[in-house]
Structure 1
Amino acid sequence: MYPESISDQSRWCFSLFFTLCSLLPMAQADTTVDSTKTTIPADPNSASFATELGNASLRSMRDFAMPPGARAPKTRLSGMLTLESPRFNGGFRIWADYYNRELSVGAMLHELPNISFQFSQQGSDLLPLAEGVQRSSHPYWELILQPGKVWSDPSDQGWSLASIPFSLQERAGNCTHNGVLTWRMNNEGGASQASYQFSSETCGYFQFDGWGTAPALFTAGTVEAKAQFRRLYEHRGNRLPVRPLDQLAEDYPGVDAKNLATADGIAKKDTTVLGMVVNGVHYRSDCFTRAGPYPYCDALAIPTYSVAKSLFAAVATLRMQHVYPQLSQQTISSLLPECDSEHWRGVTIENTLDMATGNYVSAVAGDDEASEEHENFIFADTHREKLTFACNYFQRQTTPATQFVYHTSDTYVLGAALQAFLNKHEPKADLYRSVLATSLWRKLELSPLLDDSKRTYDEASHSFTGYGLTVEADDLVRLADWLANHGGHIAGQAQLDKAMLSASLQRDPTDIGLTAGSEALRYNNGFWAFNAADSLGCPTPLWVPFMSGVSGITVAMFPNGVIYYYISDGYVFRWQSGREAAHQITPLCDSAPAL
Structure 2
Amino acid sequence: MRTPPIRRHALRLALAALLGTFAVATGASPAAAAVTPVPGDPLTGSGAVSRTLLTKAELTGGTATSTIADSAFALPAAAAMPLHTFSGRLELTGEATGGGFTELEDDFAYTNAGDSPRKHLPEISLEFVQNGSHLIPVEQGLRITGNAVWNLLVSPGRAWSETGDGGWSRASVPFALVQRNANCVHNATMTFLFNATSVSQVRYQVTQETCLYFKFDLWGQLPATYTPYPVAGAEAVRNAHAAEVAGRLPTKPIAALAADHPSAGLDLAAFGSGVTPAHMSAYGLLHDGVNYVSGCSTRQGTYPFCEVMRLPSYSTAKSAMAGTALMRLTQTHGTGVSGQLIRDWVPEHASATGRWAGVTINHTLDMATGNYRFATYMTDEGGAIVSDFLSAEPYATKIDLAFDFPSRVAPGTKWVYHTTGTFIATRAMRNYLGSDLFDELRDGVYVPAKLSRGALTSLRTGNSATGQAFGGYGLFYNRDDIAKLAKLYNNDGGVAGGVQVLHPGLLGATMQKDPADRGIATTSAAGFRYNNGFWAKQLTPAEFPQYDCSFWVPFMSGYGGITVAMLPNGATYYYFSDNDEFSWYAAVHEAGKLAPYC
- After TM superposition, the score normalised by the length of structure 1 is 0.88
Give 1:499's aligned residue.
Answer: 505
**Residue 539 (structure 2) pairs with residue 532 (structure 1):** yes
Give 1:134's aligned residue.
Answer: 143
* CA contact 1:547–1:555 (8 Å) conserved in 2: yes
**Residue 445 (structure 2) pairs with residue 436 (structure 1):** no
Deviations 1:107-134 (A, max 9, x none): 1111211111111112111111121110
Deviations 1:534-554 (A, max 9, x none): 236323321100001001110
| CA distance, structure 2, for counterparts of residue 276 and residue 472 of structure 1 | 14
| CA distance, structure 2, for counterparts of residue 538 and residue 492 of structure 1 | 36
Deviation at 1:153, TM superposition (A): 3.6
Deviations 1:215-257 (A, max 9, x none): 1011112124111111111111111111111111222231111
* CA contact 2:388–2:401 (8 Å) conserved in 1: no
Deviation at 1:506, TM superposition (A): 0.7
* CA contact 2:270–2:587 (8 Å) conserved in 1: no
1:213-362 → structure 2 map (5 Å cutoff):
213-224=221-232, 225-253=234-262, 254-262=265-273, 264=274, 266-325=275-334, 326-340=336-350, 341=352, 343-362=355-374
Give 2:476's aligned residue.
Answer: 470
Deviation at 1:441, TM superposition (A): 1.3
User: SS in structure 2 opposite 1:328?
Assistant: coil
Unmatched segments (≥5 aa) in structure 2: 1-49
Q: Write the letter of the residue equivalent to 1:302.
A: L
| CA distance, structure 2, for counterparts of residue 476 and residue 345 of structure 1 | 37
Q: Write the letter of the residue equivalent to 1:213.
A: Q
1:357-436 → structure 2 map (5 Å cutoff):
357-391=369-403, 393-423=404-434, 429-433=435-439, 435-436=440-441
| CA distance, structure 2, for counterparts of residue 302 and residue 87 of structure 1 | 26
Aligned residues: 539
| CA distance, structure 2, for counterparts of residue 458 and residue 45 of structure 1 | 36
Deviations 1:271-326 (A, max 9, x none): 00101011111110111111111110111111110000000000011110112222
Comparing 318-327 with 361-370, greater Cα deviation is found at: 318-327
Task: Go from structure 1 to structure 2 and tell me whether the alpha carbon gap of 1:71 and 1:88 turns closer, same or farther (over 3 Å shift).
Answer: farther
| CA distance, structure 2, for counterparts of residue 445 and residue 420 of structure 1 | 27
Comparing 491-500 with 526-535, greater Cα deviation is found at: 491-500
1:533-548 → structure 2 map (5 Å cutoff):
533=540, 534-535=543-544, 537-548=546-557
**Identity across matched positions, percent:** 36
* CA contact 2:59–2:192 (8 Å) conserved in 1: yes
Alpha-carbon RMSD: 1.8
* CA contact 1:88–1:211 (8 Å) conserved in 2: no
Deviation at 1:51, TM superposition (A): 6.2
Q: Write the letter of the residue equivalent to 1:202.
A: T
Q: 458, 476, 482: which is aligned to 2:488?
A: 482
Give 2:209's aligned residue.
Answer: 201
| CA distance, structure 2, for counterparts of residue 258 and residue 539 of structure 1 | 24
Q: Write the letter of the residue equivalent to 2:483.
A: V
Task: Go from structure 1 to structure 2 and tell me whether the alpha carbon gap of 1:174 and 1:105 turns closer, same or farther (over 3 Å shift).
Answer: farther
Q: Write the letter of the residue equivalent to 2:455.
A: L
Unmatched segments (≥5 aa) in structure 1: 1-40, 424-428, 591-595
| CA distance, structure 1, for counterparts of residue 181 and residue 86 of structure 2 | 35
| CA distance, structure 2, for counterparts of residue 88 and residue 106 of structure 1 | 9
Comparing 406-415 with 88-97, greater Cα deviation is found at: 88-97
* CA contact 2:96–2:123 (8 Å) conserved in 1: no
**Residue 568 (structure 2) pairs with residue 562 (structure 1):** no
Deviations 1:328-386 (A, max 9, x none): 11100111110135611100010001000000000100100000221111121111111
Q: 431, 441, 451: which is aligned to 2:456?
A: 451
| CA distance, structure 1, for counterparts of residue 455 and residue 198 of structure 2 | 34
| CA distance, structure 2, for counterparts of residue 526 and residue 117 of structure 1 | 36
| CA distance, structure 2, for counterparts of residue 288 and residue 249 of structure 1 | 22
User: SS in structure 1 opposite 2:445?
Assistant: helix
Give 2:528's aligned residue.
Answer: 521
Task: Go from structure 1 to structure 2 and tell me whether the alpha carbon gap of 1:204 and 1:536 turns closer, same or farther (over 3 Å shift).
Answer: farther
| CA distance, structure 2, for counterparts of residue 247 and residue 540 of structure 1 | 30
Q: 189, 194, 197: which is aligned to 1:185?
A: 194
Give 1:175's aligned residue.
Answer: 184
Deviation at 1:52, TM superposition (A): 7.5
User: SS in structure 1 opposite 2:416?
Assistant: coil
